[in-house]
Amino acid sequence: MRRLLPALLAVAILPLVHAEPRKPNLIVIMADDLGYGDISCQGAKTYQTPHIDRLAAEGLRFTSGYCTASTCTPTRYSLLTGVYAFRTKGTGIAPPSAPAIIQPGAATLPAMLRSAGYATAVIGKWHLGLGGPDGPDWNAEITPGPLDIGFDHCFLLPTTNDRVPQVYLQDRHVLGLDPADPIRVYQKKPSEDHPTGITHRDTLKMDWTHGHNQTIHNGISRIGFYTGGEKARFRDEDLADEWVKRSIAWIESQKDTPFFLFFASHDPHVPRMPHERFQGLTPHGFRTDSIVQLDWCVGEISAALDRLGLAENTLVVFCSDNGPVMDDGYADGALEKVGDHRAAGPFKGGKYSVYEGGTRTPFITRWKGTIAPGVSDEVVATIDLFASLAALTGAAVPEGAATDSVNVLDALLGVDGAEGRGELVVQDNGASGNFGFRSGKWKLVRHDKGKARNVVVESLLANTDVPKFQLHDLEADPGETRDLLEHQPELAVKLKKRLEEIVAAGKD
């Protein structure tokens, strides 16, 4: 572990002789379905991610950085609440028009930081539900939502882009909605002549492979049915540009006060439809073209911090919500063009999997002048940002809140000798009964039904028969190729018991 630069010591000493220094700005950049090996500083060779690499070169790159679920919604839930998602019903992948999963009054990361004087915003993908028990009324004020759980501002893709509707949510309203053309979201096909990816497949500019064949927008069929809102609908190719523009404008508006920005990219999640200027830049199709687009976003935000003189007072955390997947419902060439690229790097599994490739992802912290550049093998996770940022900012964590979040601030900042997590539980989605439990160098894998998905990322997504329990030594075998369960029976019993204790804790 590398030592902190003298600047951090100066920050600690200054209050003794001067007014208290301004609290650092905080930016969390979360990619979507980005694998450990998808960035060039971690093994990608056929294309480059120079702006993400620059973050790593100027900060601390973690070789054991995790999210706590291998799917979108539960990871985001745990990031914002500091609680394992498997403890709460309804935290699996949110369907179209899902109601708000995090309710007003819940203790959240943005609410905690706002209580400490921070301006807070989320820009990008939400996918945590909106509105009351029946979901959002897209044609009226939408509440509850991000503004009811601690964010001052939001500019969002309300769900995830393979689910309807394709509109922006700005604070509490759909942006640019014509009242004379209301949005209607349906459980079933609204009419016999409603175009879908099945009935109008020959009109699609990106074909589907499984599911994703209902309402068509922008030549791409989605999950779910909707009509209306034509003037409010966005073009997929423009998402990244719009979010960068909005993020930089918000940073500029808050440059004189401490701020927290959650920049939630959609790249490289399906449907992968990057802006035309990125299409064809890589040899692996739109999936890695979208990663190059993500890298551009990181570069634009970093350049804005430099231009505004904020880089030395801003902690940037770069991470992903889960690991990679190739064919996730669209015929975009990701599987056919994968070649020698290994999106999960040296790890087994990917999205939907509790093997390492599903939840061990890129994880970088940069605070220029404070974090000494280097590489850390300490275990840190996105769920720990709650407790760690509370410690950094002096914010109070409400009693009984963030019960699964661990203060690993010193590890995130690269303090010499600092340790990360001693144990960590990861899940796949919802209440499947699939868990990974890391304790030190040991990893217990549990599949209650003996089925695993996306075990080999560079193949068709499918279920695989697996043992209920497996045991791996991650130091000797990071690829989880050798099951040591029978060779370490006492350790296996101990880890099984501890995992069950953690999973059972806090259940209703």
First-last CA distance in the chain: 40
Mean residue pLDDT across the chain: 95
The pLDDT assigned to 432 comes to: 86
* Pairwise CA distance, residues 266 & 236, whole Å: 10
What is d(CA 456, CA 194) in angstroms, rounded to the nearest whole number? 37
pLDDT for the residue 431: 83
DSSP annotation of 308: T
CATH architecture of 6-177+245-413: 3-Layer(aba) Sandwich (3.40)
Domain spans, the chain? 6-177+245-413, 423-504
* Per-state percent for the chain, helix, strand, coil, to nearest 5: 25, 20, 55
Average pLDDT over residues 284-295: 98
Q: Is the pLDDT of residue 297 over 90?
A: yes
Tell me the average pLDDT across 271-275: 98
CA pair distance 142, 134, nearest whole angstrom: 12
CATH class of 423-504: alpha beta
Q: Does the pLDDT at position 71 exceed 90?
A: yes
Q: Note the pLDDT tens digit of each residue in 191-248.
A: 999 999 999 999 999 999 999 999 999 999 999 999 999 999 999 999 999 999 999 9
- Mean pLDDT to the nearest integer, 129-133: 97
Indicate whether 14 pLDDT > 50.
no
DSSP-H helix ranges across 254-368: 286-307, 356-359
**339/274 Cα distance (integer angstroms):** 21
C-alpha–C-alpha distance, residues 466 and 485, integer Å:
13
The predicted pLDDT at position 508 comes to 45
What is the three-class DSSP state of 1? coil
The conformation of residue 417, written as its DSSP 8-state character, comes to: T
pLDDT digits (tens, 9 = 90+) for 437-462: 999 999 999 999 999 999 999 998 88
CB 415 within 8 A of CB 4: yes
CA gap 349, 119 in Å, rounded: 38
Please state the pTM of the whole predicted model.
0.95
Largest CA distance in the chain: 74
The arithmetic mean of pLDDT across residues 469-478, rounded, is 98
Q: For residue 440, what are the CA distances in angstroms to 121, 346, 383, 454, 471?
A: 35, 19, 18, 25, 13
pLDDT of 462: 86
Q: Is the pLDDT of residue 507 over 80?
A: no
Q: Do the beta carbons of residue 165 and residue 233 sit within 8 Å?
A: yes
Percent of the chain with pLDDT over 90: 94
pLDDT at 3 > cutoff 50: no
pLDDT in tens, 366-416: 999 999 999 999 999 999 999 999 999 999 999 999 999 999 999 999 999
Question: Nearest CA to 61 among 379, 418, 375, 417?
Answer: 375
Q: Name the residue with tokens 């300490």.
A: 378
Round to whole Å and give the CA distance between 330 and 303: 34
**Residue 1 pLDDT grade (very low, low, confident, very high; cuts 50, 70, 90):** very low
Please state whether the peptide bond connecting residue 165 to the residue before it is cis, i.e. omega within 30 degrees of 0. Answer: yes
**Tokens 């003037």, located at residue:** 231
Average pLDDT rounded to a whole number, residues 176-185 = 98
